[in-house]
Structure 1
Amino acid sequence: MELYDAIKRRRDVRSFYKNGTISDEVLARILMAGHLAPSVGFSQPWNFIVIRDEEKRRKIKELALEERERFREELPEDRKKIFDNVKIEAVLDTPLNIAVTCDPTRFGPHVLGRRTIPETCQYSSVLAVENMWLAATSEGIGMGWLSFFRKEDVKKILEIPEHVDLVAYLTLGPADIPERPELEIFGWGKRMRLSEVVNEDSWGKPPRKELIDKLDNIRI
């Protein structure tokens, strides 16, 4: 799969998994894609925790479902009706989960490029997640990012040290990856036009008309 194809095909998958496993060879390629990500000051702050244990995953699923209910109660009635059809996790529907962490002490404290923007440590781990997502997509593996929990609760379950940040909790499995984002399919939202999110030279200043025409008509 070519790069732009993988970018177009990549989805946050929760509802379209199918039976099957992920071989160690495929898993290793996906993890290597994450490990090859750029990182601030070449700090490589990530660790990848592969989670197969069903009891640990069951506890994390319970946390997600509890948080789902809290979120649902905050919604107006019309949004509740849409949200009731939205699947927010696939923790037990997939053969494995992966937690991606960020260790701000690795090669520290003087990490090149992080002095003025320390959150570039977490950004680096997020870049690893995106690399993994594109690699998984090219392998026919769906990936979902679960965030319906309080990080400290999941860190306890996974025995992550206090100083290490939990950046992402991912579910992976063979999937029929949908053509459109799931939240668009279920009516929660839709993708904005590219020209709506591009400014030129300063915040809120629209691009030149020539560029807007290109932005509105670009296809990859």
Structure 2
Amino acid sequence: MPQPVSPVPAGRFSDNEREAVYRAIHTRRDVRGQFRPDPISEEVLHRLLHAAHHAPSVGLMQPWNFIVIEDASAKSRIREAFRRANDTAAALFPTERRALYSTLKLEGISEAPINICVTCDRSRGGEVVLGRTHNRDTDIYSTVCAVQNLWLAARAEGIGLGWVSIFEEEDLRSILQLPDHVVPVAYLCLGHVTELYDEPELQARGWASRLPLDNLVFRDRWGARRRNGPA
């Protein structure tokens, strides 16, 4: 029989604790070129994966797995897969953007001591999962929550993390020997860093800028501006 539910107090964090959470959020960066070569300890890696594993998931299906990659040969094959996809991606941009694109470092696969592929097992939980009955993709959304947890925990540990998304999925499937029902969601590069950009690197390099929050918040229906928000 189900055990009785015993809620615990839900008090607010202390000022210092709350500030630390927001600091991790606001200073998190997508790291490509600032990795140091020294290894990440097993203790720290376990804490990061433990944080990821405590992400919210629809129906508590926990669809994620974490493939930890340290082998230089595997990294080399994955970096080559990135290079091929990146050449294709560059050609998709207008000529005036292509030159800037070519100067951007978009991966740290070889430099980072650890790579992690976060996957989603689309069979986890069976055919019918609580909360997934009307939106099959909630397993993917849940896996992305695990990525965000890992990213914020890494920032708190002084570990840089970069998400490499420029791949043909079949290349990752082949290299990592993924079964058909498992989807690669995020390929991450992790390593100690000494410095981070004080703003997103793509913003610092002139590729894009953060949009004003006020332009993105509506009230009650699409397009209706929200009034009386914080100053």
The one-letter amino acid of 2:158's match is: G
Matched, 1:203 2:222: yes
Superposition TM-score, scaled by structure 1 size: 0.93
1:19 has 2:37 as partner: yes
- 1:199 corresponds to which letter in structure 2? F
Residues of 2 paired with 1:62 and 1:87: CA distance? Answer: 15
- Aligned residue in 2 for 1:138: 156
Where does residue 114 of structure 2 map in the other structure?
96
Letter in 1 for 2:78: I
Match of 2:96 in 1: 78
Work out whether residues 100 and 129 of structure 1, in 8 Å CA contact, stay in contact via their aligned partners in 2: yes
User: What TM-score, normalized by structure 2, do the two folds share?
Assistant: 0.89
1:186-201 correspondence to structure 2 within 5 Å: 186-201=205-220
Query: Is the Cα–Cα contact under 8 Å of residues 16 and 178 in structure 1 kept in the other structure?
Result: no
Identity of aligned residues (%): 44
Report the secondary structure of 1:113's partner residue.
Answer: coil
Kindly report structure 1 stretches of 4+ aligned residues shifted beyond 6 Å: none
Matches within 5 A, 1:170-181: 170-175=188-193, 176-181=195-200
Partner of residue 10, structure 1: 28
- Tell me if structure 2 keeps the 8 A contact 1:85–1:186: no
Choose from 203, 207, 214 the match for 1:184: 203
- Across the aligned residues of Structure 1 and Structure 2, the Cα RMSD in angstroms comes to 1.1
**Structure 1 residue 19: Cα displacement:** 2.8
Unaligned residue ranges in structure 1 (runs of 5+):
none
Q: Which sections of structure 2, spanning at least 5 residues, go unmatched?
A: 1-16
Specify the code of the residue in structure 1 equivalent to 2:170. Answer: E
Query: Which residue in the other structure is 2:10 paired with?
Result: none
Which residue, 32, 41, 59 being the options, matches 2:50?
Answer: 32
Instruction: Map 1:48-127 onto structure 2 (within 5 A).
Output: 48-127=66-145
CA distance in 2, matches of 1:86, 1:46: 30
Residue 150 of structure 1 pairs with residue 168 of structure 2:
yes
What is the alpha-carbon distance in structure 1 between the residues aligned to residue 67 and residue 144 of structure 2?
Answer: 15
Question: How far apart, in 2, do the equivalents of 1:32 and 1:172 lie?
Answer: 15
Q: Once the 2 structures are TM-superposed, how far is the Cα of residue 15 of structure 1 from its aligned partner? A: 2.0
Matched residue SS, 2:135: coil
Aligned partners of 1:157, 1:19: CA distance in 2, in Å?
Answer: 24
Three-state SS of the structure 1 residue aligned to 2:103 is coil
Structure 1 position 13, deviation (Å)? 0.8
Does the Cα contact within 8 Å between 1:50 and 1:99 map onto a contact in 2?
yes
Post-superposition Cα deviations, 1:114-166, rounded to whole Å, max 9, x if no partner, equal 01011000111100000000000000001011111111210111111111111
